[in-house]
Amino acid sequence: MATAASATALRRLYLSAYNWVVFFGWAQVMCYAASALLESGHEAVYAAVERPLQFAQTAAFMEILHSILGFVRSPISTTLPQITGRLYITWGILWSFHEAQSHILLTSLIISWSITEVIRYFFFGMKETFGVAPYWLLWLRYSTFLVFYPTGIVSEVGLILVAMPFMKTSRKYFMMPNKWNFSFNYHYELTLVTALIIPGFPYLFRYMVAKRKKVLSAAKTA
């Protein structure tokens, strides 16, 4: 019994630390983006947020492990595509192709991601640290995605399309010739990813809408 209680306490301590660290990472992204946008325009946003964005988004890989290990109740079927998709955009598009970094869609992407994630990690940080979060924060956590999830997806797909012509001309990540005679065409692979993102959006959006209804209804009757 004591061992189980200790394990639970350690899990909560770890999740509390994780959520607060990533919260501050996304808060940096949001503040730096707003400052760059107001002072220098959308072309300066990526340079201002690159490092904290890469840190905060890459740290989210741990959430796949959290789901697999049962640290959280989020199903792997929704966690895996969301995290891997964002990692793909962060490293496979934004970091890899400078042409996408100065596009206006980069700004809408950063705004959508950062507002959503600041609220989400603040909510879970409060829950893990204090065992409770105020209703207004709960409502924001399960409502802002109604706006920012669609704008984020549109921005992601748009940035992929922006990068595609430069993939062909630069031949970046085209792995031929090589000693294994293994062919990899990044342009075709990215086309496949885009084709998966679009039909995946309704599934994830319906899941989040259903979860919102369930969570908010439970909070009102509590």
**pLDDT tens across 112-171, in order?**
999 999 999 999 999 999 999 999 999 999 999 999 999 999 999 999 989 888 877 766
User: What is the distance between the terminal CA atoms of the chain, rounded to a whole angstrom?
Assistant: 29
Element of type H or E holding 62: helix 62-69
In the residue annotation, 156 being an active-site residue is answered as yes
Q: Does 149 participate in catalysis according to the annotation?
A: yes
Residues 43-52 have pLDDT tens digits of 999 999 999 9
The predicted structure's pLDDT at residue 173: 62
pLDDT-wise least confident of 22-36, 64-78, 171-185, 187-201: 171-185
User: Longest C-alpha distance within the chain, in Å?
Assistant: 64
Identity of the residue numbered 52: P
The single residue of 156, 173, 188, 203 carrying the catalytic annotation is 156
pLDDT band for 174, please (50, 70, 90 cuts): low
Q: Which of 18, 142, 149, 186 is catalytic?
A: 149
